[in-house]
Amino acid sequence: MVRGHGVKTCAALEDKVLLLPDGLHSFAGAEAIMTSGRAGIFHKLLHQDAFGTEFFSNVPCLAYVLRGRETFFDADGEETVVASGDTLLVPRHHHMVSEFSSETGPLEAVLFFFNDAVITDFLAATSHGVTAAPRSKTALFAGSPSLREYVGALPRVYSGLQASPALVKSKLFELLLLLDLHDREGQLWRFLAHENSERGRRNIKQVMRAHALADLSVADYARLSGRSVSTFQRDFKRAFGEVPSVWLRRARLDHARDMVIDGKEPIADIALAAGFSDTSHFIKAYKFQFDHTPKQHRLHLA
């Protein structure tokens, strides 16, 4: 396993954001093995290159790579390379970008998503003498032959079956207990202890200011904040004094104005960065907001 620092950041990529685990149901190469609400197990098999896949993990996630090699970049530009046999822990509300090259063969992985009930039961059943859990972040550690056998069998045994919520919970719980047996440093327990302390609704202002430029729907923002759509819209109006669509439009246009003032990027690229696929539509919206077009703004500053 390899862990280091890279120069690429999530902000540099423009593809649509994949919200996990919900987005995996429509993601090419991913198949649900068993799910119950947001808890679930997915099998991922990629044969073609997949560069710049940007995603948010809405619940704690564990990814085990059966074969192949995948590279992840977080919002700080930190790079994590995950190879066959490695296990990657991704905290809830985490923003990353993944890249896969098929030059060395396909990528096969199994992704596990844990709800609060599974995490609470695991922490109650195990004790590591830790009274305070530090902030969790992505963690990478090597697997074991027994873990590989367990994970590798899941797609073969359960694919195509209609698993009950009780079975989903029991398989996720069993996986955590198996991992705990091999985790001598206790990083899994510390990771989940912090995730357990961070559950529930997030501060809506923090969520929006951190992710205003992401290609997300109102429903996606609601899930990120731990709310239903109706509750999110009500809390948003209370926090910002306007509806989400109006606030997002202005926030993205403000970002575009900063890029225009900087004077380095083409207008079409600025439009995409602000969430406008149509440049002419962007120019009209910009003029409506600031009383002049991006080009006029630059000429005025020159």
- The enclosing domain of 292 has a CATH number of 1.10.10.60
Report the pLDDT value the prediction gives residue 250, as an integer from 0 to 100: 93
Each of the 302 residues of the chain gets a pLDDT tens digit; together they read 333 333 333 333 334 789 999 999 999 999 999 999 989 999 999 999 999 999 989 899 999 999 999 999 987 788 999 999 999 999 988 889 999 999 989 999 999 999 988 998 998 888 765 544 555 568 887 778 899 999 999 999 999 999 999 999 999 999 999 999 988 888 888 888 888 776 666 788 888 888 888 878 888 888 778 788 899 999 999 999 999 999 999 999 999 999 999 888 899 999 998 888 899 999 999 999 999 999 998 888 76
| Residue 106 CB coordination number (10 Å) | 14
Closest to 99 in 3D by CA, of 135, 59, 142, 70: 70
End-of-domain residue from the set 144, 164, 197: 197
Q: How many domains does the chain have?
A: 2
Same domain, 182 and 116: yes
Strand partners, 80: 3, 72
Same domain, 214 and 178: no
End-of-domain residue from the set 197, 226, 245: 197
Report the pLDDT value the prediction gives residue 111, as an integer from 0 to 100: 98
Same domain, 147 and 192: yes
* Structural domain containing residue 252: 204-301
Same domain, 193 and 209: no
As a three-state string, the secondary structure of the chain is: CEEEECCCCHHHCCCCCEEECHHHHHCCCEEEEEEECCEEEEEEEECCCEEEEEEEECCCEEEEEEECEEEEEECCCEEEEEECCEEEEECCCEEEEEEECHHHCCEEEEEEECCHHHHHHHHHHCCCCCCCCCCCCCEEEECCHHHHHHHHHHHHHHCCCCCCHHHHHHHHHHHHHHHHHHCCCCHHHHHHHHHHHCCCCCCHHHHHHHHCCCCCCHHHHHHHCCCCHHHHHHHHHHHHCCCHHHHHHHHHHHHHHHHHHHCCCCHHHHHHHCCCCCHHHHHHHHHHHHCCCHHHHHHHHC
Q: What is the pTM of this model?
A: 0.69
Same domain, 11 and 41: yes
Distances (CA, A) of 7 to 78, 130, 224, 259: 7, 35, 26, 20
Tokens standing for residue 281: 């539509």
Residues 51 and 177: beta-carbon distance below 8 Å: no
Same domain, 149 and 92: yes
Same domain, 209 and 273: yes
**Chain-centre distance for alpha carbon 67:** 22
Of the CA atoms within 13 Å of residue 108, those in its CB half-sphere come to 11
Same domain, 175 and 225: no
Same domain, 62 and 99: yes
Same domain, 233 and 162: no
Give the domain CATH number at 187: 2.60.120.10
Report the pLDDT value the prediction gives residue 12, as an integer from 0 to 100: 34
Of the CA atoms within 13 Å of residue 188, those in its CB half-sphere come to 25
Same domain, 176 and 285: no
End-of-domain residue from the set 179, 197, 215: 197
Report the pLDDT value the prediction gives residue 262, as an integer from 0 to 100: 86
| Residue 113 CB coordination number (10 Å) | 28
Report the pLDDT value the prediction gives residue 135, as an integer from 0 to 100: 57
- How close are the terminal C-alpha atoms of the chain, in Å? 50
Same domain, 191 and 252: no
